[in-house]
Amino acid sequence: MFEKQFVHNIKNQPMKKSALLILLFVLGSALLFSQNMDEKNGPWRSTYPDGSVKSTGQFNHNIPYGEFIHYYKSGIKQSVTVFENQGIQARNSTWYESGNLMAEGKYFNKQKDSTWSYYGDSIDQLIAVEQYTMGKLEGRSITYYPGTTQAAEIILYHNGIKQGELRKYFPDGQVMTEGTYLNDKLEGPFTLYYPDGSTQLKGIYENGEQAGEWKYYSIAGKEITYEEFIYQQSTSIEADDPDKSGEKIQPF
């Protein structure tokens, strides 16, 4: 039980900033395609309960065209979406209330499509890039260490589910974790490395569950027991979390 929980924490350590950012963006972008679609023609705008402007744009028989602008309650611009091709295609840029860019990408038939990029507010730096086809993740999804161009995690997707290689990295680019997803579950060899490239642990996954014998190694490269390994983690190893790089992994 403890062994499974430890490895679960290792492979699922959250990328907190990017996950929160993407959630905030999804909630915000929902406003874009959830307007009451009564017959609309010509210039259009919506307001907040206090009467301040929420959105502006224009329609041609309910089909949006040109530039739509959404505002925060403070009056600061939240997003700009430019509709083309009878409203089928759209380009979107969304900002934090601070004015820093939050996300940018394209829509096709009201669904995310092609490359979407996400940025942090406090540092105004790229923190994640995702590829979409008709609203579903497709290809490489990359999370970066904030303020750098170094990937923290790369996961392959197909038709919206994890399918293929998983890799996590230390801030210096050294591989931290290697594994493979099959139909959204870990499958096959799984390896966790020390920052110097030597192996921490390795084993096999079958249908998302640990299977067979798992081996654990000291920093010196000696095979050790699971109990020795856990004690070592509590005193030495860097966390698998780009928001807390340099801290220790908490195994439980």
Pairing of strands 185-186, 175-182: antiparallel
Whose structure tokens read 């096999």?
A: 204
Q: pTM of the full predicted structure?
A: 0.78
Q: Which amino acid is at 28?
A: G
**Would you write out the chain's pLDDT as a tens digit for each of its 252 residues?**
334 444 545 545 445 556 555 555 555 555 555 555 567 899 999 999 999 999 999 999 999 999 999 999 999 999 999 999 999 999 999 999 999 999 999 999 999 999 999 999 987 789 999 999 999 999 999 999 988 999 999 999 999 999 999 999 999 999 999 999 999 999 999 999 999 999 999 999 999 999 999 999 999 999 998 888 888 777 764 434 434 333 333 222
Structural domains of the chain sorted by starting position, each given as residue range(s) with its CATH number in brackets: 15-159 (3.90.930), 161-240 (no CATH)
Q: Angle at which helices 2-12 and 226-233 pack, to 10 degrees?
A: 40
Element spanning 222, H or E: none
